[in-house]
Structure 1
Amino acid sequence: MTEYDFIVVGAGSAGCVLANRLSESGRFSVLLVEAGGSDLNFWIWMPIGYGKTFYKPSVNWMYHTEPDPALNGRVSYWPRGKVLGGSSSINAMVYIRGQARDFDEWKAMGNPGWGWGDVLPYFRKSETNDRGGDAFRGDSGPVHIATMDRDLHPLCHDFIAAGKELQFPHNADFNGAGQEGVGTYQNTARAGMRMSTARAYLRPARHRANLRVETHALAERVLCEGRQAVGLRYRQNGQIVEAHARREVILSAGAVNSPQLLQVSGIGPGALLAAKGVGVVHALDGVGRNLQDHLGLDYLYRSRVPTLNTQLYPWYGKLWHGLRYVLTRRGPLSLGVNQAGGFVRSRPGLEHPNMQLFFSPVSYTKAPPGKRPLMNPDPFPGFLLGVQPTRPTSRGHLEIRSPDPSEAPAIYPNYLATDIDLQEMLEGARLMRRFAEAPALARLIEAELLPGPHVQSEDDLIADVRNRAGTVFHPVSTCRMGPDARHDVVDARLRVHGMGGLRVVDASIFPTLTSGNTNAPAIMVGEKGADMILEDCGSGESCQGRS
C-alpha cells in the first residue's frame, strides 16, 4: 500500500486546483485519482469541439436521469466530464461567478467564511482576465478568461440592441460590479483554445515529485477505520489498488460522483445503504439529497440574414473554418456557441435579476440529446434564444442502485416541483417572445420554428415547457454545506460531518445553486478549500493525520 499526505478523488474543476495548491509548497505528497484519461484531445482543446465531447463516452460519463413526471416522463441527459479537467474540459466555457447575494446567502445559512467578501479574493486569485484586473477581476491567476469580441458574430449586437429596446441596460462585464443587463459572455479560453483546470492548474504541476496523478483509475471505496477515513481503494487496468492517506481523503468527483462514492463507502442515508446491501459506516441522511439544477428553454428562429449555420453547414465552410482555426486559432471555431446573453428581471418588483439569457447565432434541431454529436448545424440560417431561471426552488436527489461503484446512480432531478419554478419558466418563455418582438431582432426573423406561433395561451406555454425544457447541466448541492448534520453533509470547513480525515471540495457542497454557470464557482471552491486544508494542517486542529 502506497502512502500520501492527501488523496484527491477526481481531477475536475476543483480537483485539479487542489492537486496544484496542496503540492505547491513541496511539503505534502498528493495522489490525484481520475477515472478518465488524458485531456490531450483536439476536440477538447478546440472550443467549438464541446459539441463532440458532450456525447463522447471516452471523456464523458453520459448520465441519464430517471423519467421526470413534470417533464412528461422525459429522461434528461446529463454529460459529466470523465477526463483530466472534468467537466471544465467538456463544458460550453461560459465564465460566470454568480451574484454577490448568492454567497451572502450561503453565509446566512450558517456557513461562516462563505459570504461575497470572503469568496471574491478566491475568484480573483484563480483568474487572469484578458481585460485586466481591478477590484473585482484578477490579472495573475491560472485560469485565463477571454473576451470574444474579436470574432463575435454580428447578430450579437442585434440581440444587445433588442435588450436596450426592452429597457435592459448593457453590461460590459457580468463578473464585475454588478451582474444585471445584457451583453456578451467571456469564455475560459486562451489563444483560441479551451482553458480547462487541467490546462490551468494540473499541467504546470505535473513535474512535481510530490504529486502523483493516476488516470483510468475508478475510485471504489473510501477506506475507513471506524469513522476515520484512512485511504482509498481504486481499480486501475483491472487491478485493485489501495492507497493510504496520512492526513486526509478529499472527494472532488462532482455533484454526481462524490455522493455516489460516499454512499458505496457506507456514508449516507442508513435505510438506503441497508436496502442496497452496503454496510453502514456512518448514517448521514443528506448525502445525495438537496439536488439542484438549472432548467432552461430554447426558442428557435429562422433568420432572414446569414448566421453561423450559413458558414458551418456546407462542407466547404467546415473546411475553410477548420483550416482557419488550425492556422490562426481564429474564427467561429475558437468561440463557444453562447456568445451573448444577460441577467434580467422578468417582472417589476424583483430585487435581483432572476433570469439568465443566452443568444446563440447558430441552431441545431436534428440531434436528440445524448444520442449523437452536435457537429452539424441546421441547413438554413437560424439562431436560438435561451432562458433559465437562476434560482430554482425544486429539490431532487440521487442514490446508488447497488454497491457496485461502476454502476451509474439513479438521478431524480424533480424539476418544476414548485409553483414558483413553473411560473418562472412561463415568465422566461414570455420574455423570449418579447426579445423576438423587439425591433432589432424582429427585422431579422423570418419565422419562429420552435415552439411556433400557434403556442400562445398559458396552457399551451406550460405544455411546451413540459415537452421541451431541459437541463442546462449545472447539478449541485448533493453534499450540501451547512451546520446541521441531520440534513447537511459538510461543515463550513468542508469536513464531512461525523467523520475524521474526510472532506468534499467541489460543486456538490454548494448550499444553493448560484445565479449562472457553475464552473467558475466550482474553481473558487477548489481554491478556498485548498487554503482551508492547508490552514488546518498548519494549525494541527482539524487536518487529522495518522502518522
Structure 2
Amino acid sequence: MRDFDYIIVGAGSAGCVLAERLSANGRHSVLVLEAGGRPRTPWIALPLGYGKTFYDPAVNWKYQTEPEETLGGRAGYWPRGKVVGGSGAINALVYARGLARDFDDWEEAGATGWNWDAVQKTYERLESRFDVDGTRTGEGPIHVQDVSDQIHRANRHFFAAAKELGLPRTPDMNGITPEGAGVYRINTSGGRRMHSARACLAPALRRANVTLMTGVLVERIGFEGKRATSVEVVHKGRAQSLQAGREIILAAGAVNSPRILQLSGLGPAELLREHGIAPLMDAPHVGGNLQDHLGINYYFRATEPTLNNVLRPLHGKIRAALQYALTRRGPLALSVNQCGGFFRSDAGQRAADQQLYFNPVTYTTTPDGKRTVVQPDPFAGFILGFQPTRPISRGRIDISAADALAPPRIRPDSLAAQEDQAQVIAGGLLCQKIAKTEALSRLIAAPMGEDLREMTPEQILADFRARCGTVFHPVGTCRMGADSTKSVVCPRLKVHGVAGLRVVDASVFPNITSGNTNAPTMMLATRAADLILEDA
C-alpha cells in the first residue's frame, strides 16, 4: 500500500471532520482507519433508531466499567460507536455547544487559544442552523435543526412548571442566552441523522486523495526514535505497517486513544512494564483525567397521552412510520430527548450547574435488563431527569493486557469528590421543585418507583448512587495543556515528547463541557485541522 501524508485513526465524530478538512486543498493524501464497518443498519439514519443501536454489537463496542463502590458496587454500561461515524452515529442527536465558561476554563487550565471567543468562531464555521420555517443561518457542513414545531404537546407542562418557578426560558441553548428551558436542537437533515460521517466524510471520499479502510484493528503506533512514522494494524487477517509521511492523528475517542498510546509505549511506565511493553516514554497522564456526566431519570405515569400512546400500539407504530416515510417528520424524526435545558440550582451559582431533560415517554427496564424507546411502556408516562454539568471527580482508562483486543479497564471514580455529591443533591432538589409545581402536578398520575417529591436530600443522594448511569460523555484521558508534566498533548494537540503524532478527539478536553459532548468534539476537530494545516 502506498504511503499517506496523514493517517487518521478513527472515523468517528472528530476523524470524519478531519478527513474532510485536511483533504480539501487536494495537496495532501489522507488515510482514515476505522475498526468498525460502514453503516448497514437503517437504525443509524433514523433519529429514534438510537433505541436500537444502543445494544447492537454490530455498531457498538458495548464497554463495561469496573464496579464502583461509590455506586453500590455497580458496573456501568458504556456504549461507544464501532462504525463509520463513531459514537455520533449512535447517539441521541442532541447538539449542545456547551457554555462560554467551559472554554474559558479550558484556557485557564493551560489550553491556550481554546477560550470561548476562539471556539465560538469555529462553531460558526462548522454549523448550518435551520429554523422551523426552513430559514438557514451559516454554511457549515453540520446541520443543526430546530424541531420545536414537532415536539409532543405534553412538553408544555414542563415549560409551564419552569415559568411557575421563575426559571428562565431560552429560544436556543446554543444562542446568546443558552440558559433556561428550551427545546433541544438536533443533528438532522431531511429527517435523517446528520452526523459527521454523512456531512464530512461522505463528500471527502469523493476525492482521489482520501482513502477509508474499515474493519481495521490498530495494534500500535510505530516510531523511529521519538518520531511516529507508522500505524501497525491487522486488516482482513493480515498484519500491515501503514506509513505516514507527515503525521499520525489519533481520533479514536476517550476510550481508545489512550489505549493506543499505551500499547505504543506512551503511558505510565510501571503499567506498561506490567504488561510487557517497553516504555518509549513515561507518560503517567495518558489514560488519566477521565471525566463523564452521570445522570438519573425519574419516571412518572401521566394523566394525559404521551409518546407512549403513539409508539406502543402497533397501529401507532404504523402511523408514525407512514408519517416519517411520507414527510420525514413526526416522532421517528426526533431525538428521545425533546426538552430540557441548562439551569442554576440556586442564584449563587456563577453558571448553570445542572442540565435537565424532559422526555414525554417512558421505557422501563425489561426482564433482560435492557431499555429501548422503540418499545415504550403500555401506559402514558414521562421522564424528568438531570445531570450535574461540571463534575470534578477524575478516573482512569488503561489497557488490561498488551493486546489490542483486550477490553479496557475503565475506572470512572464517580462521585469521589464531595463537591460532586453536593451537586447531585442540588440537581435532585431542583427536579423536586419542578415536580411539585402545580403545572407538572397536573401531568403526574403517580410516580413509578420512589416518589422524588417526598425525598430528603440524603435520599436523593442515596437514590442517585443506586440508579444513576453515564450520560455517555467520557472525556479527558489525553488531556490538553501547556505543561507536559500535567497533560498529554500541547494546545496544538501534539503529543508531548514525540514528533509526528497528535490526538484530536474528546480525550483532549481539559475539563468536561457542561452539556452533550458531540458538538464540542466536532468543533475541536475543525479547529485542529486549521492547526495541522498551518504546521504543514
For normalisation by structure 2, the TM-score amounts to 0.97
Note if contact 1:362-1:384 (Cα within 8 Å) is conserved in structure 2.
yes
Deviation per CA, 1:56-83, whole angstroms, max 9, x where unpaired? Answer: 1111111010001111011111111111
Assess, with a 3 A threshold, how the Cα gap between structure 1 residues 370 and 125 changes in structure 2: closer, same or farther: farther
For the 8 Å contact 1:296–1:387, the answer to whether it is kept is yes
Question: What residue identity is the alignment partner of 2:91?
Answer: N
Letter in 1 for 2:483: D
Distance 1:453 1:131 in 2: 36
1:186 offset after TM fit, Å?
A: 0.5
Residue 292 of structure 2 contacts residue 474 of structure 2 at CA under 8 Å; is this kept in 1? yes
CA distance in 2, matches of 1:85, 1:533: 21
Q: In the alignment, does 2:252 pair up with 1:279?
A: no
Q: Give the aligned residue type for 2:519.
A: A
Matched residue, 1:254: 253
- 1:130-149 equivalences in 2 (<5 Å): 130-131=130-131, 139-149=138-148
Q: Which moved more, 1:103-112 or 1:189-198?
A: 103-112
Alignment of 1:447-462 (within 5 A): 447-452=446-451, 456-462=455-461
**Equivalence map 1:142-181=2 (5 Å):** 142-181=141-180
Query: Which shifted more, 347-356 or 446-455?
Result: 446-455
d(CA) in 2 for partners of 1:534 and 1:515? 29
User: Is the CA contact 1:125–1:138 (under 8 Å) kept in the aligned structure 2?
Assistant: no
Q: Which amino acid aligns with 1:359?
A: F
Q: Which residue of 2 aligns with 1:427?
A: 426
User: Runs ≥4 in structure 1, deviation > 3 angstroms?
Assistant: 367-374
Q: Distance in 2 between matches of 1:368 and 1:88?
A: 28
8 Å Cα contact 1:123/1:138 also seen in 2 = no
For 1:57, give the aligned amino acid: P
Shift of 1:40: 4.5
Question: Structure 1 CA distance, aligned partners of 2:212 and 2:148?
Answer: 37
Q: Is the 8 A contact 2:147 2:185 kept in 1?
A: yes
Q: What residue number does 1:477 align with? A: 476
Cα distance in 1 for partners of 2:257, 2:352 equals 31
> Is 1:199 aligned to residue 198 of structure 2?
yes
- 1:312-331 equivalences in 2 (<5 Å): 312-331=311-330
- Residues 432, 452 of structure 2: 8 Å contact kept: no
Per the alignment, residue 505 of structure 1 pairs with 504
Amino acid across the alignment from 1:286 = H
Letter in 2 for 1:376: Q
**Aligned-pair CA distance for 1:348:** 2.6
Task: Tell me the CA shift for residue 263 of structure 1.
Answer: 0.6
Alpha carbons 1:367, 1:374 under 8 Å: kept? no
- Give me the whole-angstrom Cα distance separating, in 2, the residues matched to 1:400 and 1:417: 22
| 2:363 and 2:371 in contact (8 A); partners too | no
2 CA distance for matches of 1:332 and 1:355? 26
Deviation at 1:453, TM superposition (A): 5.7
- C-alpha change, 1:536 and 1:211, in structure 2 (3 Å) is same
Distance 1:56 1:355 in 2: 30
Q: Which amino acid aligns with 1:95?
A: Y
1:52-67 aligned within 5 A: 52-67=52-67
Taking a change above 3 Å as real, the CA distance of residues 41 and 272 of structure 1, as seen in their structure-2 partners, is: same
Q: Secondary structure at the match of 2:102?
A: helix
Residue-by-residue CA offset, 1:493-519 (whole Å, 9 max, x unaligned): 000000100000000000000010000
Question: Alpha-carbon deviations, 1:412-434, whole Å to 9, x = none?
Answer: 01110011111111111111111
Over the matched positions of the two proteins, sequence identity in percent amounts to 50
2:51 alignment partner in structure 1 = 51
Distance 1:353 1:433 in 2: 17
Give yes or no for contact 2:172–2:178 (8 Å, CA) kept in 1. Answer: yes
Partners of 1:455 and 1:461 within 8 A in 2: no
| Residue-by-residue CA offset, 1:1-56 (whole Å, 9 max, x unaligned) | 53100000000011000000111111000000000111243100000001111111
Equivalent AA in structure 2 for residue 164 of structure 1: K
How far is 1:448 from its partner?
Answer: 1.4
Structure 1 gap segments, 5+ residues each: 538-547
Letter in 1 for 2:32: L
Corresponding residue number in structure 2 for 1:398: 397
Aligned length: 533
> Structure 1 residue 3 and structure 2 residue 3: aligned?
yes
Secondary structure of the corresponding residue to residue 2 of structure 1:
coil
For the pair 1:468 / 2:438, whether they are aligned, the reply is no
> 1:458: Cα distance to partner?
3.1
Q: Aligned partners of 2:95, 2:498: CA distance in 1, in Å?
A: 34
- Corresponding residue of 2:439: 440
**CA deviation after TM superposition for structure 1 residue 323, in Å:** 2.2
Give the conservation status (yes or no) of the 8 Å contact 1:77–1:369. no
Contact preservation (8 Å) 1:55, 1:373? no
CA distance in structure 2 between the partners assigned to 1:178 and 1:272 by the alignment: 46
The amino acid that maps onto 1:122 is T
Q: Which residue of 2 aligns with 1:348?
A: 347
Over residues 117-165 of structure 1, what are the superposed CA-to-partner deviations in whole Å (9 max), with x where a residue is unaligned?
1111111111100039xxxx95100011111122110111221111111
Hey, what's the Cα distance between the residues in 2 that align with 1:373 and 1:454? 26
**TM norm structure 1:** 0.95
Q: Distance in 2 between matches of 1:453 and 1:199?
A: 41
CA separation in 2, counterparts of 1:187 and 1:237? Answer: 36
After the TM superposition, which residues 361-372 of structure 1 pair with which residues of structure 2 at under 5 Å, given as runs?
361-367=360-366, 371=370
User: Quick one: distance in 2 between partners of 1:441 and 1:200?
Assistant: 39
**Contact 2:95/2:519 (8 A) holds in 1:** yes
SS at match of 2:112: coil
